Structure 1
Amino acid sequence: MMKYIFLLLVTIAGMLPLHAATVDTITVQSVRMSKDIKAVVISPENKKATSTLYLLHGYSGNYASWVQTAPHIKQLVDTYGYMVVCPDGGFDSWYWDTETTDYQYETFITKELIPFVERQYKVGSDRVNRAITGLSMGGHGALYLAFRHQDLFAFAGSTSGGVDIRPFPNNWSMKKRLGDYHEKPAVWNAHTVIELTHLVKPQSLQLFIDCGTEDFFFEVNNKLHEKLTYMNIPHHYLTMPGKHNGEYWARSIDFQMAFFAQCFQDQNAKK
């Protein structure tokens, strides 16, 4: 599939439309967390989308982070014709359900956000019309949710993802959510992507993972790639020069969205 992704990128380079997709900010009530949560919804202009990509932000970000980091995402949505939803995942949720009632973001996305979006926008409600990816904390979150909810997602990815949290036990508020790593290693293992690969069922998920070679998450992404390869779990793995920053993500989203465009296109061709 990688050769098709590169062909798509070459093709769209000279085809990005001058007009842009419709960008809405919606509010979704989370009954589980007893609060309203915002999300950005990017819809292709003058075209009915049937598929949806859920695009997760990183640590300290919010629902608007992706359109600020990569403004051309609107043109990509118009070109590919599927909808993109960027939910607010909290400052430091890592997209887990934790013991505190105000941090139930796994439940929010899988049981509250997806049904709301599909009712509101009349997009496809089967798993082959859903994909999920994200950056950094959101890259971890996307794979974490996809591995645990293969009934919901057929396609998943990660860019610069924190796919193994254990080498960073004192960073990014994680021990506030999970406890101290040295006291609760089993809890940390249960909440890190690289320890959940056993959940992936044969031919269940199509995966695309990328990371910059100067990124502090580069080694953990390599380790995940090696483990997936060892376990014979098909996936696409791309490395490019780049750091853990917006400049890299504004570039990597082109590859991510091209991958999911090909996935959705292949599924539609089978119908």
Structure 2
Amino acid sequence: MRSLLQHIVVPILFCLVSMSVIAAPAFAQRTRKPITWVNSDIPDFAGLEHKVLKSDALGHDVGYVVWTPPGFSADADTRYPVVYFLHGAGGSERSDAAGIASLLAKGIRNKTMPPAICVCPNGGMSGYRGEVESMIVDELIPLIDSTYPTRADAKSRVLAGFSMGGAGCVRLSLLHPDLFCAAGSWGGALAFRGDAAESPLLPAAKKNAETLRANGYAALLINGDGDRPDAFALLAETFRAHDIPHQVVIVENTKHNLGDYHKKTADQMLSFLGKQLQQNQ
């Protein structure tokens, strides 16, 4: 009997030990990469400048990138509207800075976009919630308005973003209706996980509808047909019910790729953001 138990138990114990040794590296590979909050190695693009905010909300430094348009002068009498662009999951303040600056420069040349300052904050993996939300709303926006010649009002401030940033720009605009007049989302969603019907943005849109309309607010919600095309369906219903201007765009043959969104809908996004800023001048 003892010999039989040895033949059964010993191999089982060996297998369990072997599995734990093998599983440990695999688990380590799935561990989330630490967030680097300051990334100063930005692309070489005219008008881009990296900055660092000592954030009380986060409890540490956080990087952000500012783009100023051609002809910008801090000493001039001109006051500029501001575009806040929010990166996707895994990105940082440097990720999309040159890309969005290039698009805005094109829009300014084509006169679909007024000369505007663009700010790209580092949102980590926050979903632009919690401390990062406080950092942007309570610290970064007041800092930009105090150090640059901005038009510091909701009608001169818009949000745009991709993926987590697309969801984030819609979120911030609806929860802080006194700060923004537009949200332009590429590949975002009302909820990436969980039940979209339980999103706090649905009651927020209803509660803040009057303020949003007073500020001339509108939303442009762009998703690919292979990138959660129904991602904002419930929010669009709420917008319609409360007369909040919006447009839902489903792009054919498009998955979750910012480059594809740029190629197919950049002009539409620029026209939307420019119209929002120009109509509110």
TM-score (norm 1): 0.73
Residues 23 and 41, structure 1, Cα contact 8 Å, conserved in 2? yes
Partner AA of 1:41 in structure 2: V
C-alpha displacement of 1:76: 2.9
Tell me if structure 1 keeps the 8 A contact 2:85–2:118.
yes
**1:175 aligned partner:** none
1:197 alignment counterpart: 205
Structure 1 runs of 4+ aligned residues shifted over 6 Å read none
Q: Distance in 1 between matches of 2:202 and 2:231?
A: 9
1:126-177 CA distance string (max 9 Å, x none): 1111111211111111111111111111222211112223xx24xxxxxxxx
The SS at the match of 1:228 is helix
Superposition deviation, residue 107 in structure 1: 0.4
Sort the Cα spacing of 1:231 and 1:245 in 2 relative to 1 into closer, same or farther, 3 A: same
Do residues 34 (structure 1) and 45 (structure 2) align?
A: no
Of structures 1 and 2, the larger Rg is shown by 2
Q: Does 1:211 align with 2:223?
A: yes
Paired letter, 1:115? P
Pairwise CA distance, 1:25: 1.0
- Conservation of the 8 A alpha-carbon contact between 2:101 and 2:118: no
* Cα-Cα RMSD: 2.4
Cα distance, 1:222 vs. partner?
3.3
Specify the alignment match of 1:5 in structure 2.
Answer: none
Query: Which secondary structure state, in structure 1, belongs to the residue aligned with residue 62 of structure 2?
Result: strand
SS at structure 1 position matched to 2:231? helix
Q: How many residues align?
A: 222
User: Partner of 2:163 in structure 1?
Assistant: 136
Aligned to 1:263: 276
2:123 is paired with a residue whose SS is coil
Aligned residue in 2 for 1:239: 250
**Deviations 1:54-76 (Å, cap 9, x if unpaired)?**
11011111111213555732523
Larger RCO, structure (CA 8 Å, separation 6 or more): 1
Q: How does 1:78-97 map to 2 (within 5 A)?
A: 78-79=108-109, 80=113, 81-90=115-124, 92-97=125-130
CA contact (8 A) 1:49 1:83 kept: no
Residue 44, structure 1, aligned to residue 69, structure 2: yes
> Out of 73, 87, 90, which is 1:57 matched to?
87
Q: Report if the CA contact (8 A) 1:30-1:36 is conserved.
A: yes
Deviation at 1:201, TM superposition (A): 1.6
The alignment partner of 1:76 has SS state of: helix
1:52–1:84 CA contact under 8 A, matched in 2: yes
Provide the residue aligned with 2:48 in structure 1: 23
1:254 and 1:24, CA in 2 relative to 1: closer, same or farther beyond 3 A?
farther
Residues 83-141 of structure 1, C-alpha deviations (whole Å, 9 max, x = no match): 11111001x100001xxxxxx01101101000111111121111111111211111111
* TM-score, normalised with respect to structure 2: 0.71
Find the aligned partners of 1:49 and 1:197 in 2 and give their Cα distance: 30
